[in-house]
Amino acid sequence: MSFCGECGKKFNLLEKKYKTRDLRSLCSNCYEKYCLESKIEEERKELEKLQMVGVTGFITRLGDFNPMVRRGAAYGLGKLNDRRAVEPLIEALKDKDNYVVINAAKSLGNIGDIRALNVLRKLSKRGNIHYKIREEAEQAVKKLKQVKFQGMATIVDADIKDMSWQNFEDKICELLDAVPRDSRTADMGLDGVTKEGIPIQIKQSEKIGRPVVDKFCHAVRRYFSNSDRKKRGIIVAFSFTNGAYEEIERARREDNLDINLVTVEELLIK
């Protein structure tokens, strides 16, 4: 390890004369560097040991009768970061030992294969489970949702902004499982209705502001004018201004309107 001149002299002297490494002799910068390099070296040695066992070795150990062995296997597979481990780790989520499940959930998040997304979602919402299992499942879901979004964004993001307005509206309706507008809803300034009967407006733009939200609120009132149902609506766009969010809060508070602002990114990672 390399230190600044003064720390190097002190450190080498202590190590040679007293056979000790007194970290208190280091300045703050050298101390942080020492800790970081030590951690990197420890992780390198750990990885070397794990690689000696190998992916297939750890997969085999997931079936061992000893839960300590299974825990170590679930942990090791996450460190090796090999997609061959995904299906065995998904199966390990059913293990009766809580800490096998915890390590398996964490490892699936580290590997980042979206095949595990749905099963981890279900696990995170399951009742009567160890709190740490829920925590690790929720963290893994967050990681995998981001992986899913990045993968989809690479394919569609550039294209979706350049779509014709009609194709864009059709794509958003598809993502929302909604019916595109007909003559009635179009006359009200709406672009479609979800299967639950919620009117939607779609904007192929960034920074949608208060005026658009205000106009949509009027459209929602008209749409529900002959109904006793709760007045709800959805606006989809690439982004919204603070004014837009303030307006939906005002509409909820003063007019009892439930307007949801949804970004295209949120739709892609659902």
Lowest mean pLDDT segment, chosen from 83-87, 143-147, 221-225: 143-147
**Residue 126 clears pLDDT 80, i.e. is over it:** yes
* pLDDT score at 184: 58
* pLDDT score at 265: 76
Q: What residue type is 25 in one-letter code? A: S
Strand, helix or coil at 193?
Answer: strand
**Angle subtended at Cα 100 by Cα 99 and Cα 102, rounded to the nearest 5 degrees:** 60
* pLDDT score at 105: 95
Question: pLDDT grade, residue 139 (50/70/90)?
Answer: very high
Q: Distances from the Cα of 66 to the Cαs of 77, 99, 152, in angstroms? A: 17, 12, 41
**Cα separation of 55 and 82, whole Å?**
7
* pLDDT score at 170: 84
**Residue 64 clears pLDDT 70, i.e. is over it:** yes
* pLDDT score at 215: 92
Lowest mean pLDDT segment, chosen from 64-78, 162-176, 199-213, 249-263: 162-176
Neighbours of 211 (CB within 10 A): 11
**Residue 90 clears pLDDT 90, i.e. is over it:** yes
Chain-centre distance for alpha carbon 157: 18
* pLDDT score at 189: 77
Q: Distances from the Cα of 80 to the Cαs of 59, 84, 117, in angstroms? A: 12, 10, 19
Of 23 and 132, the structure prediction assigns the larger pLDDT to: 132
Query: With a threshold of 0.85, does the pTM exceed it?
Result: no
Pairing status of strand 232-237 against strand 199-202? parallel
CATH 3.90.199.10 is held by the domain 5-152: no
| DSSP letter assigned to residue 181 | P
Lowest mean pLDDT segment, chosen from 88-102, 140-154, 163-177: 140-154
Indicate the domain borders of the chain: 5-152, 165-268
Q: What residue type is 123 in one-letter code? A: L
Nearest to 180 by CA among 188, 171, 100: 171
Concatenated DSSP letters of 115-158: GGHHHHHHHHT-SS--HHHHHHHHHHHHHHHHHHHHHHHHHHHH
Question: pLDDT grade, residue 6 (50/70/90)?
Answer: low
Give the residue-averaged pLDDT of 43-51.
Answer: 66
**Residue 104 clears pLDDT 70, i.e. is over it:** yes
- Return the CATH architecture of domain 165-268: 3-Layer(aba) Sandwich (3.40)
**Cα separation of 180 and 200, whole Å?**
9
